[in-house]
Structure 1
Amino acid sequence: MSQPAPRVPRTPKEGWLIHGRQVLRFRPTIWERTNQRLEITTGEMLPDQEIPLLKSRQELTRTEALKLWGETRKAGWTPCRPKW
């Protein structure tokens, strides 16, 4: 019997995904009843550095961020602890 899918949090919560050396950070920036946005930061882990090289930053609606999270998870990205 399969486990039910975890519920998406209704309150702001940071999330991290990693795939090889690439890292994505999902961070709530606006969390109002009718306007919810998250900042998505992309970084690359470098072998000789403790902190990833930050490559890009964009702001998405909650719906767009959830879609990106789902797509990257299906592509093999895995949750990880914060990297910066």
Structure 2
Amino acid sequence: MTPAPIARPPLTPKEGWLRNGHQVLRFRPSRWDRNIQRLEVTSGEWLPGESIPLLKNRRELSRQEAIKLWSELREKGWQTSSPQW
């Protein structure tokens, strides 16, 4: 019997999406090298009758901050999503 794989963040930068009702977050690597690992987190909100979410906010977080935010939101019920824009 093999042990269950440990769920850990990917080592290579990838884009990720979370959605909770009308709210959407996009996590995208913005600066990624050996010493600096930063992600851009863009929030949006789906409005009735619109084809894409209205972009509300954009900020840059360290990799550790982004992982913490992702984990906290997943614990609160946010779901992973396909790209929204």
- Shorter-chain TM range is over 0.9
Q: TM-score, normalised by structure 1?
A: 0.92
Task: String of CA shifts for 1:24-75, please: whole Å, max 9, x gaps.
Answer: 0000001101110000000001120111000000000000000000000011
Per the alignment, residue 12 of structure 2 pairs with: 11
Q: CA deviation at 1:7?
A: 2.5
Per the alignment, residue 35 of structure 1 pairs with: 36
Compute the RMSD of aligned alpha carbons. 1.1
After superposing on structure 2, the runs of 4+ consecutive aligned residues of structure 1 that deviate more than 4 Å are none
Question: Whose Rg is larger?
Answer: 2
Q: TM-score, normalised by structure 2?
A: 0.91
Q: How many residue pairs align between the two structures?
A: 82
Per the alignment, residue 82 of structure 2 pairs with: 81
The gaps in structure 1 that reach 5 residues or longer are none
% identical equivalent positions: 60
